Amino acid sequence: MNRTRWIFAGIIVAALVIVGVALAVRALNAPETGAGASEPAPIMVDRPASLTVRVLTSLPVEPWVRSATEAYNATQPTQDGIPVRVEVIAMDGLTALGRWDRNEFGALEAGVRREDLAPADLAALSDFPTVWIPESRYLVELANAAYKGRLGQDVFLTDGEYRARPIATSLFTWGIYETRAQVLQSHFGEISWQTIHDAAVAPGGWPELGGDPAWGYFKLVVPNPNKNVGGLHAMIAAAGEYFGRTDITVEDVTNPQFQRWLKELMGSVTDFSSASAYTAEDFALFGYSVGDGGQLLESDLLQNMQGILTRWEDPLNLYYPRYVTWFDFPYSIWVGQETTALEKNAALAFQRYLLSDAQQQAALSYGLRPANPSVPLDATADSLFVKWQARGVESVVPRADAMRNPDREVLLALLRWFELNVAD
């Protein structure tokens, strides 16, 4: 046998010895079988003692979501046998979008894996939002686009099990004191942005329009765009009516004629600087000193209708505009590695709870239109759509043209225009 064959044979023998030793060790360590044998040791999985679902929630739905959260937590929910607790953090959509853009919530950088984090870095993720419920779907799309550019992957999905899904809807509508609305309709024929503009710039004020001289000049109510994304939606709806279409561009925002018209319109707001993020609540608390009427979120108006009737001599009536902006409150689960699979699934369970018939019916008492199609607006006796029907509430929105969602450039252009021309 030549030298090459001896070497090959040696390798074969060594391999057989290694296999034999491994089998012997395995046999020695194998558990006993038969009578008296102990159970095999279970595979150990690192399971947390509890799970927390943190829900970043926009202001208009926060009261309903918080109430639902309290009811949900009271049921002592679990996920795969692990106790779950839901927490609600209220935050305006534009504020949240800014924090996502600046990565202030602490998403991991591209290439960093959760399993490689030091304990202190892993603990820092304990406050990361599991869910975001902004006012509108386009805010989710803007945040996702920013992270996709940074990380190379989606963090909020548009399809599949974890897709963003609306949990309720509401639209912007006119809320105007009845006496003022009667004068405007008598003088102009209808309630519209152009009507409000012309009333705002009337040199003689209300007397010129046929109203009470004690009313002074027309005062508009809209949310402050720097505190409430609803202010931007009001300006988008105004632009839609001005240009007669549902899509608004940066070129439209920077159109000199439109800017002049919009400045005259927004200049009739009493005081943006002192207004809170809860404009409809201010309307109910301070009445005519805040304004004569304005375009606000339907749910906010309905929630504050009783306060307005209690404090002021005039009832508030609702009038639906031709060009409508909507909030669809998408429940958006963060799918990045900052949250665990258990947390994501626990978030999905809470989403199903919010969309249940019982919770969708509860939303009616907050003036929110259900996202669950099986729940009508008159499903409960305490539905605000039933309670305030005499004040102009419409179950089916008439002759509306829905405005398209603005892109980031349009939003930034409107905010910049507001800061330069209106904000104090």
* Domain hosting residue 88, numbered range: 51-108+115-163+330-367
Residue 15, domain member (yes or no): no
Residue 294 vs residue 399, higher pLDDT: 294
Do the domain assignments include residue 231?
yes
Residue with tokens 């720097």: 226
Once rounded to an integer, what is the mean pLDDT over residues 80-101? Answer: 95
Q: What is the mean pLDDT of residues 15-41?
A: 42
Same domain, 239 and 284: yes
Crossing angle, helix 193-200 and helix 178-188, to 10 degrees?
A: 100
pLDDT at 41 over 50: no
Cβ-contact 417, 259 below 8 angstroms: yes
Look at residue 337 and give its three-state secondary structure: coil
Q: Is the pLDDT of residue 165 over 50?
A: yes
The pairing of strands 220-221 and 293-297 is: parallel
Answer yes or no: is 206 within a domain.
Answer: yes
* Site of tokens 């595979």: 43
Mean pLDDT of the chain: 87
| SS3 assignment, position 394 | coil
Mean pLDDT of 325-338: 95
298, 318 contact by CB (below 8 A): yes
Which pLDDT score is estimated for 5?
A: 54
- pLDDT of 318 higher than 70: yes
Residues 230 and 153 in one domain: no
Asked whether residue 237 falls in the same domain as residue 360, the answer is no
Q: Are residues 298 and 176 in the same domain?
A: yes
The verdict on 140 and 153 lying in the same domain is yes
6 within a domain of the structure (yes/no) = no
Contacts of 63 (CB under 8 A, 6+ apart): 303, 366
Residue 408: pLDDT band (50, 70, 90) is confident
Determine the pLDDT at residue 21: 44
Indicate whether 258 and 360 sit together in one domain: no
Q: How many other CB atoms are there within 10 angstroms of residue 318's CB atom?
A: 21
Under the banding of pLDDT at 50, 70 and 90, the label for residue 278 is low
Angle at the Cα of 223 (from 143 to 93), degrees rounded to 5?
15
Given a cut of 60, whether residue 61 has pLDDT beyond it is yes
Shared domain check, 208 and 245: yes
- Does residue 45 or residue 117 have the better pLDDT? 117
User: Per the structure, how many domains does the chain have?
Assistant: 2
275 has pLDDT over 70: no
Q: Do 129 and 145 share a structural domain?
A: yes
Greatest alpha-carbon span in the chain: 122
d(CA 174, CA 172): 7
Distance in angstroms between the alpha carbons of the first and the last residue of the chain: 99
Quickly state the pLDDT bin for 326 (edges 50, 70, 90): very high
Q: pLDDT at position 251, please?
A: 96
Does residue 34 register a pLDDT over 60?
no
Would residue 142 count as lying in a domain?
A: yes
**Amino acid residing at 232:** L
- Would you say residue 113 has pLDDT above 90? no
> Which among 349, 279, 340 is positioned nearest to 85, based on CA atoms?
349
Residue 37: band (very low, low, confident or very high) from pLDDT cuts 50, 70, 90? very low
Give the E-state strand segments of 135-236 in sequence order: 165-166, 168-177, 220-221
Strand partners of residue 370 = 168
Half-sphere exposure of 145 (CA within 13 A, CB side): 9
Helix (H) or strand (E) holding 88: strand 82-90
Q: What is the CATH number of the domain that holds 260?
A: 3.40.190.10
Based on the fold, state whether residues 317 and 343 are members of the same structural domain.
no
Residue 66 φ/ψ, nearest 5 degrees? -65, -40
> What percentage of the chain has pLDDT greater than the value 90?
66
Q: How far apart (Å, rounded) are the C-alpha atoms in residues 217 and 386? A: 34
Distances (CA, A) of 361 to 38, 261, 382, 393, 411: 54, 41, 9, 17, 33
Average confidence (pLDDT) over 211-224: 91
- For residues 181 and 212, membership in a common domain is answered with yes
The predicted pLDDT at position 272 comes to: 66
- Residue 33: exposure state from Cβ atoms within 10 A (0-12, 13-18, ≥19): exposed
Indicate if 292 and 335 belong to the same structural domain.
no
pLDDT > 70: percent of the chain? 87
| Structural domain includes residue 20 | no
Whether 80 is in a domain gets the answer: yes
Q: Looking at residue 274, what is its pLDDT? A: 64
The mean pLDDT of 103-116, rounded to a whole number, is 90
- Residue pLDDT, tens place only, 344-394: 999 999 999 999 999 999 999 999 999 999 999 999 999 999 999 999 998
| CA atoms of 257 and 268, how far apart (whole Å) | 18
Residue 339 located in a structural domain: yes
- One domain for residues 286 and 223: yes
